[in-house]
Amino acid sequence: MKQLFAPWRMEYIGGEPEAGCLFCRVREAGPEHDADNLVVWRGPEALVMLNRFPYNSGHVLVAPRAHVGDLADLGDPESLALMQALRRALGVLRQVLAPDGFNVGANLGRVAGAGIPDHVHLHAVPRWSGDTNFLPVLGEVKVINEHLQRTWEKVAAAFSAAG
């Protein structure tokens, strides 16, 4: 039997969750901690960060500044800022990673799969033709083809260059 090693997954499987809201902690930590927190872009009303436990390389989380648990609780200006941040993220990911498409969505509520149910956020997952195979189905393993730090470097640089 061949073995696939992914030791960084143990942090997700057995790690102790940090207290409080991830997005609020990251926002309050400030830009000097963006590399550690995987933040690739900060706007006045939203931020974009890489998912530390991605489904695919370049999987980003787009969150509004407002700490609310449902899209319906965002006001029009906050909703617009969230969509503008998502559009910006998709443009940068297209430029840097050249995916063939995206899965974009939100999990609203814990029963819907929200790991952070108290702070609404969107997922944007780059997809490529042929990026699926039998491993997730039979082996319950998903291969991420690029180191997370390298993806952060490329995506953060592209956001910075875009202004």
Q: Which residues are catalytic?
A: 121
Query: What separation in angstroms does the CA of 88 have from each of 8, 27, 94, 117, 163?
Result: 29, 18, 10, 24, 11
Per-residue pLDDT, 20: 83
pTM of the model: 0.85
- In whole angstroms, what is the distance from residue 148 CA to residue 101 CA? 20
- Please give the pLDDT value at position 140: 60
The whole-angstrom separation of Cα 67 and Cα 12 is 23
Q: pLDDT tens digits for the chain (163 residues)?
A: 555 566 666 665 666 666 789 999 999 999 999 999 999 999 999 999 999 988 899 999 999 999 999 999 999 999 999 999 999 999 999 999 999 999 999 999 999 888 889 999 999 999 998 777 655 554 565 666 778 889 999 999 999 998 7
Local structure of residue 15 (DSSP, 8 states): P
Q: Are 99 and 91 in contact (CB under 8 A)?
A: no
* Cβ(142)–Cβ(135) below 8 Å: yes
pLDDT at site 141: 57
Output the pLDDT for position 163.
74
- For 90, other C-beta atoms within 10 Å of its C-beta total 17
